[in-house]
Amino acid sequence: MIKKTINNFLNRFGYQITSISSTDSIYVNYIKNKNPIIFDVGANKGQSIIRFNKIFKEPQIHAFEPIPICYKFLLNNFNTKNNTLNNFALGSEKTKKMFNVYAKKGNSSFFELNKKSKWFKKHLSSSGLNANQITEERIEVNIETLDNYLEKNKIKKIDLIKIDTQGFEEEVLKGSIKSIEKNSIEFIEIEMMFENLYEKYTNFIDIERYLIKNNYRLIGINRPTNIISKSNFSADVTYTLNKNIDE
């Protein structure tokens, strides 16, 4: 039923708008690996680890989180044989880079917050913090590429990668280009931030330049809203290989 619905919609419009639950049901129906290999890039405090363990029996999760306090939380709560926890970021090259740790940890990013944005003004008003307190600290973090990580760990295929890196998504894709070109990743879920929360915001052109030419296709968008009614307008978009749609 899921496959038929996706095909019908894609044939008519080229896209499918889905909810979170229906996106997860796509993964359940299409990922046949009993122990799927899942990469959680931007793990924060393990929200997606919990999510993936709900929809798969025993996923093999590789989580990446550069913030020390969040990584410590992961170690204390998700340090199991099925989870590989990494205290570094993924990007376009192996290097070190300064990282902004914000009071709201989920917004932490390699990019500076845009103090003129509606979100910043709203957050400042509701948090009780002044502008100087929004940034807790700047730390130097290690960055590795996904391609190097796969080679080092002898991983040939990823069933699903979730990338939620607060504007750094394109850099993660750049460092994954060999795997993308070889179609070694079955599903790619990316958080797209459309509001100018940071000095850089994500757009489809930046993302799809790496995916469309390598046989990936957009199949899902969750949380449809708009930039006018929501100051922090973002959505998770899901891509998969054309062969998964055509089969």
Model pLDDT for residues 9-21, shown as the tens digit of each residue:
434 444 444 444 5
Amino acid 61: pLDDT: 98
218 pLDDT exceeds 90?
Answer: yes
Selection from 156, 195, 191 nearest residue 172 by Cα: 191
Domain with 157 in it: what CATH number?
A: 3.40.50.150
Residues 6 or more apart whose Cβ sits within 8 Å of residue 203: 192, 194
Residues 6 or more apart whose Cβ sits within 8 Å of residue 241: 183, 186, 215, 216, 217
How many domains is the chain built from? Answer: 1
Selection from 181, 170, 187 nearest residue 215 by Cα: 181
Amino acid 6: pLDDT: 41
State the Rg of the chain over Cα. Answer: 18
SS3 12: helix
Amino acid 123: pLDDT: 65
Q: Where are the beta strands (DSSP E) in the chain?
A: 37-41, 60-64, 83-86, 89-90, 95-102, 135-144, 158-163, 185-193, 216-221, 234-241
Angle between helices 47-55 and 20-30 (to 10 degrees): 50
Q: Which residue range is the domain that position 143 belongs to?
A: 2-246
Amino acid 150: pLDDT: 98
Q: Which range scores top for mean pLDDT: 37-41, 205-209, 227-231?
A: 37-41
